[in-house]
A and B are shown apart, each in its own frame.
Chain A
Amino acid sequence: MAGGGELGGGGGRPKRGKHSKRKPKKRLGFRIDMTPLVDITFLLLTFFMFVTTLTTPQVMDMAVPPETEDVEVAESKLFTVRVREDGKIFYNQAKDIPQPIILKELRTKAIRSNLDMKNELITVLKIDENVAYETVVNILDELNLAEIKITQALQAEKLNRERKFTISPMTDKDKEEIKGL
């Protein structure tokens, strides 16, 4: 691409004179120097590449129970997940003693408990005020991932999944129950 652009018509140029002895030069096509064009295009390309954010944030669905009178539920149907101040997770079903559980095992536990009880189980999440929000979202994510498996398993049995889940505040009684564990 060295040298400047040689713009010239492909067609014939008017002859210089009637008696010109020069043969009319037949030009085949023409060439444009594209270097400045490429320069600018690359500049713009890099600009837009740096400006764009390809990762758009996602959303996780959440629901809170409406402000109505408390609904009585059988304790045997409750699957309670408690998160202590230090981020440790405890679970218990019905009136069992809370058991510590690590985040990775929560999914399999939730799947198993839910499949045992079909659609009856109510998951209750109780979180201490001082727990980091990240821990909460991680737990919710695990439960959501479990939900996919539960729905699939129930669909195989021709059952529709009705999710029963709630976040409820942690009471002093809850704190007492998981204190020494």
Chain B
Amino acid sequence: MPKVKMKRTGFVIDMTPLVDITFLLLTFFMFTAKFKSEADNEQKFQIKRPKTQADTAKLPEKDVAVIRIAIDSTRPSDTAYYFSVANPELWMTIKDDPSLAEWLTPERKEASKAMIKTVKIEELETLISVSRTQSKAFNITKKTATEKAQLRFAIDADKRIRFKWIANAMEAMRRTRQTQFNFVTDKQQ
């Protein structure tokens, strides 16, 4: 007697290992994900950083003041310095500093939630010295006046920009006695 053929309807795959791996990856990406900061959000331009091989230190996420210089694609002459500080609390105190009141009008202050566009090089100079003194005062009140918590300065410039812009920013650093600073670069693959 011939066997009766069983008709199979569908089949079952064990998905458990798949789910295991997916969850593993998911948790990994969830923990490593960094969302756009407020400064990035306000930034209307994109900076193409120069690539280097020798640098290994990462740009710190806190206690760093960044001077951004980007190419303005529409009006090349309009390029300005953008100044921002990574710590939001410190940023508020810097913005309210009386020595900035001369040129930082309420409207301009309102418009600069996370970064200030400086038009003149003197403005950048005041910002550098103000943020340094404010960060010192801030660290004393929070009792974190350690070497690590000191505000660092970094220049984040577009690689296509003329060196004149960087030289001027460096000169501003020199005049405010901020002789140590960093250039922001990208890793060469």
The chain A residues found within 8 Å of chain B, CB to CB, are 1-3, 34-35, 37-38, 41-42, 44-45, 48-49, 51-67, 127-138, 140-141, 144-145, 147-148, 167, 169
Contact = CB atoms under 8 A, between A and B. Distances in A.
A130 B163 contact: yes
Contact of A129 (B11, B56, B164): B164
Secondary structure call for the A interface: mixed
A173 to B, nearest CB: 18
Interface stretch (B28-36, B92-100, B112-120, B140-148): B28-36
B121 interface: no
Interface stretch (B80-88, B101-109, B123-131, B150-158): B150-158
B12 interface: yes
Given A66-B174, A137-B50, A57 B185 contact: yes
Contact of B179 (A54, A64, A129, A169): A64
Contact of A38 (B19, B58, B167): B19
A34 B19 contact: yes
Secondary structure call for the B interface: mixed
Contacts of B32: 52, 54
Given A45-B29, A137-B52, A58 B57 contact: yes
A44 B24 CA distance: 12
A2 B175 contact: no
B149 interface: no
B180 interface: yes
22 contacts: A34-B16, A38-B19, A41-B23, A45-B22, A45-B25, A48-B33, A49-B29, A57-B185, A58-B57, A59-B182, A60-B183, A61-B180, A61-B182, A62-B170, A62-B182, A64-B173, A127-B167, A130-B164, A133-B50, A138-B50, A145-B54, A167-B170
